[in-house]
Amino acid sequence: MTNHACFVLENRRMAYGPVEMPVPKDDEVLIRMKFCGVCGSDVHFYEHGEPEFPDVYPFILGHEGAGEVVAVGRNVTTHKVGDRVCLEPGITCGKCEWCRGGRYNLCPDVVFPSAPREPGILRRYVAHPADLAFRLPDGVSCEEGALIEPLAVAMTAARAAGARIGQSAAILGSGCIGLVTLLALRAMGITNITVVDLFDIRLDKARELGAANVVNARSEDPVEAVRALHGGIGPDLVFETAGSTTAASQTIRMAKRGGTIMIVGNVVGQTPIDFQLMTNKELTIRSNFRYANIYPTCIDAVASGRINLRSIISRYYPLEQAPQAFEDCITEKASMVKAVIRFETA
């Protein structure tokens, strides 16, 4: 077996070439990758780099993956060769107060593939802890398995926001995370959902996936439009998934009195917040960092048919064409919801 990977060499330049074949440790499995989703954070690194790590190149991206087990470490009893698995990427210490308290997503010593300096999984073969490699049931494909990771973000956010049947919601942003949030909320019984975005093509996709209403923020005031669509008082829940300071600021005015705001997107920079209005409306503002203890729930939601992850895939690319996938995510942002890398045997 030989291993190959795609490396980022510098901003917007990537190359395909050989890489060392990993040897699984005692508690790891060796996985032949089948699919890897292209995350927005990976695209950001590809386009802009990371100033804090100027010496990290060449660097391997990717953290949304699924594949087939081809070898197991000597202490692994839960997996066997031939198992299809999806990867929960973050490897935490297991010892800090957050890990021991069940909120391991907040572990300060997490090792996260594709976050410098830990190489990602855009490799044909990857070694990974067996307890973070979740077996996929027969009804769930590896391509769906690769998208369990973004679904875990959305499902965690929806659960933390207290989403329940009968509520109403607005989602700001209809990229991948916005759309899987839509799918998660619908699976939890919420149907009165308004999605806001700047691009009609994305809003069409949101409507296709079950949004009750859509609002183009270029052509109308999203706060007024969303409030009007929800009885003139706003929705119970507002999810910011676009990573926009503008959208984040609008959530305060958009939410219903007594409602909940969930910040899911990476909102970089200072965001103006009207704290007095927040207090007057007695709003709850929550944030969500990745996920914890939810992969089995997400896999079950897909296996049961409650969530169709294939519906968010825009295009497939072979590993050798990963550079084109990343470029398309930049130049075709309006129409590219989710690019997926399809691996082929070496």
Kindly report the CATH number assigned to the domain that includes residue 100. Answer: 3.90.180.10
- Kindly tell me the burial class for residue 74, based on how many C-beta atoms sit within 10 Å of its own C-beta (0-12, 13-18, 19 or more): exposed
Which SS3 state, helix, strand or coil, does residue 14 take? strand
Q: What local confidence, expressed as pLDDT, does residue 346 receive?
A: 42
Q: If you average pLDDT over residues 73-101, what whole number do you get?
A: 98
The domain that holds 215 is classified in CATH as 3.40.50.720
Q: What local confidence, expressed as pLDDT, does residue 1 receive?
A: 81
Do 142 and 174 lie in a common domain? no
Q: Phi/psi at 328 (nearest 5 deg)?
A: -65, -35
316: pLDDT strictly greater than 50: yes
Closest CA to 146 of 16, 290, 310: 310
Q: What local confidence, expressed as pLDDT, does residue 51 receive?
A: 87
Contact call for residues 290 and 106 (beta carbons, < 8 A): no
Give dist(CA 141, CA 156) in Å, integer. 22
Task: Give pLDDT tens digits for 276-290.
Answer: 999 999 999 999 999
Do 113 and 186 lie in a common domain? no
Q: What local confidence, expressed as pLDDT, does residue 225 receive?
A: 98
Do 135 and 256 lie in a common domain? no
Do 142 and 166 lie in a common domain? no
Residue 305 lies in a domain: no
Concatenate the DSSP letters of all residues of 130-159 into one string: GGGEEEPPTTS-HHHHHTHHHHHHHHHHHH
Could you tell me the pLDDT band of residue 344, with boundaries at 50, 70 and 90? confident
Do 26 and 129 lie in a common domain? yes
Do 79 and 201 lie in a common domain? no
Number of domains into which the chain is organized: 2
Do 136 and 19 lie in a common domain? yes
Task: Give pLDDT tens digits for 157-174.
Answer: 999 999 999 999 999 999
Structural domain including 267 reads 154-287
Give dist(CA 267, CA 345) in Å, integer. 38
Do 185 and 281 lie in a common domain? yes
Single out the residue in 287, 304, 324 at which a domain terminates: 287
Do 90 and 119 lie in a common domain? yes
Residue 297 lies in a domain: no
Do 9 and 136 lie in a common domain? yes
Buried b (16+ CB within 10 A) or exposed e, 197-215: bbbeebbebbeebbbbbbb
Residue 299 lies in a domain: no
Could you tell me the pLDDT band of residue 100, with boundaries at 50, 70 and 90? very high
- Report if pTM > 0.85: yes
Residue 139 to residues 142, 226, 340: CA-CA distances in angstroms? 10, 37, 19
Q: What local confidence, expressed as pLDDT, does residue 193 receive?
A: 98
CA 145 from centroid of its chain's CA atoms:
12
Do 275 and 198 lie in a common domain? yes
3: pLDDT strictly greater than 80: yes
Contact call for residues 66 and 25 (beta carbons, < 8 A): no
Do 265 and 226 lie in a common domain? yes
Could you tell me the pLDDT band of residue 153, with boundaries at 50, 70 and 90? very high
Task: Give pLDDT tens digits for 52-64.
Answer: 999 999 999 999 9
Residue 292 lies in a domain: no
Q: Which residues pair with 237 in a beta bridge?
A: 169, 260
Q: If you average pLDDT over residues 214-242, what whole number do you get?
A: 98
Residue 169 lies in a domain: yes
Give dist(CA 146, CA 85) in Å, integer. 9
